[in-house]
Amino acid sequence: MPRNDTVENIFFFLLLSFSLFVGYLLFEPFLKVIAASILLAVIFFPVHDFLLKKIRRPIITSLLSTTIVMLFIIIPSIFMIVVFTDKLIEIYPAVLNAISKLENIEESLNKFPVIHSTFQKVKLMLENYGIEVDIAKTLRAVSMFILNFFIEKGKAIFINFTLIVIGILFVVVTLFFLFKDGYALYKRVYTLIPLKDSEKNFLFAKSYRAIQGVVLGMVLTAIAQGIIAFIGYSVVGIDMAFFWAFITFIAAFLPVGGASLVWIPIAIYTFFAKGIGWGIFMTVWGTFLISTIDNIIKPVIIGDKTNIHPMILAFAILGGLNLFGFLGLFIAPIVLVLIDNMLNLFKSKYGVS
């Protein structure tokens, strides 16, 4: 019987597609754990590679590299999450009490003639267009939305704490094997890609540098803004300065607003609670230190590793948050980097001008 290559190819690709789909279903519950592990392995690979050259024993080096990630990333993250959740529950009644007093916000504005005059002009202009402004009601609604959002996240952490611990254990174990066998896995994937070696080297090397630059730039910027914010909040005398600095650190990852979403409301609060002098200090500190450090660290670390437009990156990160939660902050830039490099490869491969 003559061999039918067309039928054979169709059968092969159908079977391959079915196997990949079933494999996806098997691994789907662990995709976030795997993604987080790969991300940490990529970030800390230079450290692992340096240790491997010194120690030359893969298992010991992998254990040491995993321990370093635990000490500097995983354990501090758990500590901050626990402190954040505990403080959130602690301040909930105080924040509710402060929100209930927002009825007198317009009276409080009288202490600041310039602000009060500007507000009245804007309010009158809006009323001329039939738009009624109730600043107390608006502030209460916004404050309650933000507070409820963080409370729900705090509840989720407590309710799913066992699952979170199990997830962290999976990350640690996966990270160890990625350090130990990651290069062999990389070579296996490398050989399966049907491209020329020069094209594969371009794709992997450029993507690796860009991913490290983008992710490290985001993380180091957020850390720097959190530390600077903590110093500013402590100097001004803001209650629970560490808690608000942690919130600033989290907000720094957001593409729109970033750390200013936290320090601006705190600066406004400082005007009313601490006086005009401290309010001006907090405003200057936030403008020229907390927010400006973003424009110093990212260009130095990211440099020319990627040419992704900030607006495209902002939309991608928001989409990543929607799809993957907090992990989407890091997955979105990686996907963009891969797309950008694939398009560059397409351009050079097919001579598109």
Distance CA 224, CA 226 (A): 5
Q: For residue 101, is pLDDT > 80? A: no
CA distances to 170, 208, 250 from 61, rounded to whole Å, are 19, 22, 32
Please tell me the pTM assigned to this model: 0.75
Residue 180: which of 55, 273, 291 has the closest Cα?
55
pLDDT at 18 (0 to 100): 93
pLDDT at 320 (0 to 100): 84
Q: Summarize the confidence of residues 165-169 as an average pLDDT.
A: 82
Write out pLDDT tens, residues 42-94. Answer: 888 889 999 999 898 999 999 999 999 999 888 887 787 777 777 766 766 66
Give the length of the chain: 353
Q: Summarize the confidence of residues 205-223 as an average pLDDT.
A: 83
Contact 254, 228 (CB under 8 A): no
pLDDT at 281 (0 to 100): 92
Write out pLDDT tens, residues 9-23. Answer: 888 999 999 999 999
Residue 338: which of 223, 193, 225, 239 has the closest Cα?
193
Write out pLDDT tens, residues 38-50. Answer: 888 988 888 999 9
